[in-house]
Chains A and B, each alone.
Chain A
Amino acid sequence: MDVPVLRLERLTKQFYEGVLQRAIFSDINLDILSGQFSILTGPSGSGKSTLLNLISGIEPPTSGKIIVDGIELTALSEKRRTLFRRHQVGMVFQSFNLIPTLSVSENLMLPLDLTGVSRKEAKLRVIETLDRVGLADRSNSFPEQLSGGEQQRVAITRALVHDPTLVLADEPTGNLDSDNAHQIMGIFKNLVKDEGKTLIVVTHRSDMEPLADRVFHLEDGNITETFVNMGVNVEGT
């Protein structure tokens, strides 16, 4: 039996809004296997981004466990969680979140610098990765000089360049037009196919769901699996 690369056990998250306490979700259980492409959907405010933050170690849960690649994230200190995220997680955001004062190649050097890769090897990896996404000629450009699609491709490359275990993407196509959006989702699909990355993408776009191996729906504090791409549609034929 495959050991899941990500396991959530009775995960609960509550927030303070001013002085009031609100539960975002309660007792979530989830297993994701290595090399699976999962999509997470749900209405606004359902806690999708929060769930990604918990999985990446950005925030701790109120209760429950998060186990990634055998490491119990919830038992780690804040610093250890950050170091875990540095080495094991790649993050992609809706608004790209490239460092505006660094060039494309410098943005990609950043995670390699953080993970202690030598400068020589880092340069080689950056060139190779940019080449794969068709941006080799833009290595010295700054983010403001790139189109939205190009920026997101750079952001995806940044998320992958240090070879993380898990890639998390929060509405990566939210600021893109349809063509670019499909292109980006295609890149994600290829990642899983070619490199066996474990990928979780949050998106509102239902037309992207067929690309995924699994689709989860988060609403009213509960998570349900609505689609499994094993040739069988859970909710339909």
Chain B
Amino acid sequence: MKRTLLLVSFRYLLGHPLHTCLSMIGICLGVAVVVAIDLSNYSAKAAFALSTDAIAGKATHFISGDAGELSEEIYRKLRFDFSALGIAPIIESGPIESVQESSTDNPIVSRRWTLVGVDPLAEQPFRSYLDSKDLNVIGRLMYEANTVLMARQSAYKSNLNLDDKLTLNIGGENKSVKVVGWITPDNSVSKVATADLIISDISTAQELLRSKGLISRIDLIIPKGKSGTQIVDIISNSLPDNVNLLPSSSRSESVTQLTNAFELNLTALSLLTLLVGSFLIYNTVTFSVVRRRNLIGILRAIGVTRSEIFMGIVVEAFILGLVSTAIGIGLGIVLAHQVIDIVTQNINDHFFQLVVEELIISYFGFFKAAILGVGITVVASIVPAYEATVVSPGSAISRLSFEIGFSRLLPKLTLLGLAISGVGCGVLLFPSKNIILGFVGLFGLVIGLALIVLVSTNAGLSLTRRMSSLRFSITSLFAIKLLAGSVSRISLAIAALSMAVSLTVGIGVMVQSFRLTVDHWLETSLGRGIYVSPDSMSLTRFDSIISPEVLVRLKNIEGVTKTTAVRHLMVDTVLGPSHLVVADTDFESFNRPAKFKKGNPRELWEEFNNSDIVLISEPFAYHKQLTIGDSFAMLTDYGYKEFRVAGIQYDYSSSSGIITVSKQTYGEYWQDKKVSSVRLHVSPSQGIDSLIEEIYESTQNIQPLQIRSNDVLRKSALEVFDRSFTITSVMRYIAVLVALIGVVGALMALQLERAREYGIAGVIGFIPLQIRKVVMLQTSLIGLLAGLFSLPIGIILAYGLVHVVNERSFGWSMELYISYKVLFEAILISLVGSILAGVYPAIKISRSSLSSQLSEE
């Protein structure tokens, strides 16, 4: 591109800072949201992988049992048979809370830890952060009871020093350990990953975790090549049936797959925000073309070709996109620091326990964002760049002929919109489980509908123009006529705004539908009473149990008519590790047809208690492709046993799904009598709050518990639900903000083009107030039309999100509930936003001098 032409572009951008900033905001915000979500997802995954890999160290393989633990005898035998190999046993807990202690001058701060038990003598080849040169520390670890090592920095943050004691709440019991040394990671990755580790001797860990004779896994270092392959075969063949030798890399993969759908949904929504930003780019590049029509004409007159004009606009957009994206990436990093907490909380709430200490930067993520940001800016500038090439210097194409040209395009645009919508609809409804395909279909549908809005705007403005034969004021008539004469400019602004507002409608309706479905399910599932569980228990952390002493106390509390217990545990099945719920329930609680998607509870009751049948949740049925009559095997205390699926229930507590068995069936195949939570049935006359107080007083010294009425439990479940949609709500409003900035740009372009008309109006007697009213009326009409168009698009979007994307992502079905509040809110946002967006253009045009408005260009 010619140097002087580049100079013309640069000088224009620098000379119009407001316009340049407007151009950049949409892409900045869009890229910022994409980067924030991407970084948060990446950090969460990386944190999980880091912690897994740091613990794995140099291990090439690991041995684990299907049930999550294996006998230490396997380790002893391997040690004997393969004495030359690096082999180390590991026992690893889930997250453990330390107890806040404020009795000393430096109170010990509570936080979450992971307890890892190791054989210090076998550790050196694997993990270097145990300083085995310090024999005193190793000796204390091995021979003093309940001694641990931790990261010095973490100890400092918790106000712990050497030989201080730390109280850990493990499975509902408080246990004291003593800090006798430090973990010494030799690189920053290990530092981050080991920040929340407490390392003990393996026998100490077995005692603390009540896993005597058991370990979590055995790490191995197996050489590469033929000899290594032979060793793998020999070891694999020597292991019992339910014990496997696997490569180290497989450890984190299966768990993080759980979050794929969640992350994909967030990523898709962030991309939609960027898409709205692209409309803003189109508007502002168009505005710059309109504004420079004379300049473009001059350049064409002195011999600049159309392709050079085209490239000039595109290069400008490229540079704008580059700068905007760079700023957007910076903004995204800042935003990610806020978002990461929300994302991590969501993962903790729904999938697995995760602690993310800090944001982990992904340069590949920045590269992706850069390609997207710059790419979308360039693509969005192509049409206005083309418009710039048709500017003729000789007799500049009249506004009228341009509008006529646009009007002639409308039927083609309608067909294109219908075609894209049709394809999008087809892709969306195509029977598939692929979530990406679902989003592609949804995007296509929304874009196609946005094109149809262009046509509908024309019809809407024509209708309004016809209606102006009714007794409208002169300012209203003038506003409508001006608007109707600039349909090419306005229709795209309306399409962009309606697309952004439809996003709020679609997501709003989806969230409302989901919330109402979950609320209704909670109402159906939670009978009246008091629900008691260990304080550390959550949807993803249910290895805690209620101590037997507490159970005895609970049964004897006055006012409690009955107690029903539930057991939650992970079991191994042929379909992979799964969440099993053991329901000690009565017929009244069981017989709720609303809870069953398939199967009749009345007919199933007898069978449920007396045969080898299970109920599965809807997500479980979806992910494992099971239906009534199918069977699968679960690992019991007596080996693998087939269970038949007799019913499918609605359940919104777990996206990976649950299996439910009766207490009787569980008792027949498992020797476990533990209880995870209890429901206390209360007599109707008994006040629940006073009973809760009484329960708390009688158990507080035995075990920390969560004691909640069904109402409070329901409320707390809905709080988790609301937290899950915090990010989507933020993205909704960012998209609307971006679209409203686009409206400002469109209005400014419109006012610039119509400057002469405003000038004439001023000359014949319109006072500035009337001019401002004209502009405000125009913006109100834009907002109203955009709001109205957004409703059907938003409802279609909601349908796609609820019945296709959500179902494919999580397996949950739900009723589509169209809330009038959401619809009304959408119109209000569109109308009020547009009116506010019109304030600046209204003031600007009313203050412009008449002579400048009337002068020839």
Contacts and interface: CB of A to CB of B under 8 A. Distances in A.
Contact of A58 (B11, B394, B401): B394
B12, B302, B304, most chain A CB atoms within 10 A = B302
Interface in A42-84: 49-50, 53, 56, 58-59, 78-79, 82-83
B295 interface: yes
B303 interface: yes
Interface stretch (B1-9, B107-115, B276-284, B594-602): B1-9
A42 to B, nearest CB: 16
Given A102-B4, A102-B7, A114 B303 contact: yes
A101 interface: yes
A201 interface: no
A100 B2 CA distance: 18
B4 A86 contact: no
Contacts of B145: none
Interface string A11-53: 0000110100000000000000000000000000000011001
B15 interface: yes
Contacts of B307: 79
B301 A56 contact: yes
A16 B401 contact: yes
Nearest to B303: A86
A145 interface: no
Given A79-B307, A83-B305, A114-B303, A109 B4 contact: yes
Interface string A151-194: 00000001000000000000000000000000000000000000
A106 B7 contact: yes
Contacts of B306: 78-79, 82
Given A95-B856, A101-B8, A102-B4, A58 B302 contact: no
Contacts of B301: 56, 58, 85, 91, 93, 97
Contact of B295 (A53, A87, A99): A99
Interface string B392-408: 11110000110010000
A128 interface: no
Contacts of A59: 392, 394-395
A168 to B, nearest CB: 10
A95 B393 CA distance: 13
> 7 closest pairs, A vs B, by CB?
A86-B303, A101-B11, A53-B394, A113-B4, A58-B394, A97-B298, A110-B4
B2 A113 contact: yes
A61 B11 CA distance: 36
B3 A86 contact: no
Given A58-B394, A59-B392, A82 B300 contact: yes
B4 A58 contact: no
A101 B12 contact: yes
A82 B304 contact: yes
B398 to A, nearest CB: 8
A158 B302 CA distance: 9
A106 B4 contact: yes
A111 B303 CA distance: 8
Contacts of A100: 295
Contacts of B305: 79, 82-83, 86
Contacts of A89: 303
A111 B395 CA distance: 22
Contact of B304 (A49, A50, A102, A114): A114
Interface of B: 2-5, 7-8, 11-12, 15, 294-295, 297-307, 392-395, 400-401, 404, 856-857
Nearest to B857: A95
B303 A82 contact: yes
Given A99-B8, A101-B12, A58 B304 contact: no
A85 to B, nearest CB: 5
Nearest to A110: B4
A104 B12 CA distance: 16
Interface string A108-137: 011101110001000000000000000000
- Is chain B's binding surface mostly helix, strand, loop or mixed? helix
B758 to A, nearest CB: 22
Contacts, number: 86
A91 B299 CA distance: 11
A96 B8 CA distance: 17
Interface residues of A, number: 35
A59 B297 CA distance: 12
B102 to A, nearest CB: 67
Contacts of B7: 102, 106
30 contacts: A18-B400, A49-B394, A53-B393, A53-B394, A58-B300, A59-B394, A59-B395, A78-B306, A79-B305, A85-B303, A86-B302, A86-B303, A86-B304, A87-B303, A91-B302, A95-B856, A95-B857, A98-B298, A99-B298, A99-B299, A101-B12, A101-B15, A102-B4, A102-B7, A110-B5, A111-B302, A111-B303, A113-B4, A114-B304, A115-B303
Nearest to B12: A101
A49 B393 CA distance: 11
B11 to A, nearest CB: 3
Given A18-B401, A86-B302, 9 more contacts: A50-B395, A82-B300, A82-B306, A83-B305, A99-B298, A99-B299, A106-B7, A110-B302, A158-B302
Contacts of A119: 3
B711 to A, nearest CB: 68
Contacts of A91: 301-302
Contacts of A78: 306
A101 B10 CA distance: 9
B12, B301, B392, most chain A CB atoms within 10 A = B301
A58 B392 CA distance: 7
Nearest to A94: B856
B303 A53 contact: no
A58 B393 CA distance: 7
A49 B395 contact: yes
Nearest to A90: B302
Nearest to A111: B302
A102 B300 contact: no
Contacts of B3: 113, 119
A56, A83, A87, A158, most chain B CB atoms within 10 A = A56
A101 B11 CA distance: 6
A100 B297 CA distance: 13
A85 B8 CA distance: 20
Contacts of A93: 298, 301
A97 B306 CA distance: 19
Contacts of B298: 93, 97-99
A83 B856 contact: no
Given A18-B404, A97-B298, A113-B4, A83 B392 contact: no
Contacts of B404: 18
Contact of A50 (B15, B303, B394): B394
Nearest to B294: A97
A18, A82, A106, most chain B CB atoms within 10 A = A82
Contacts of A97: 294, 297-298, 301
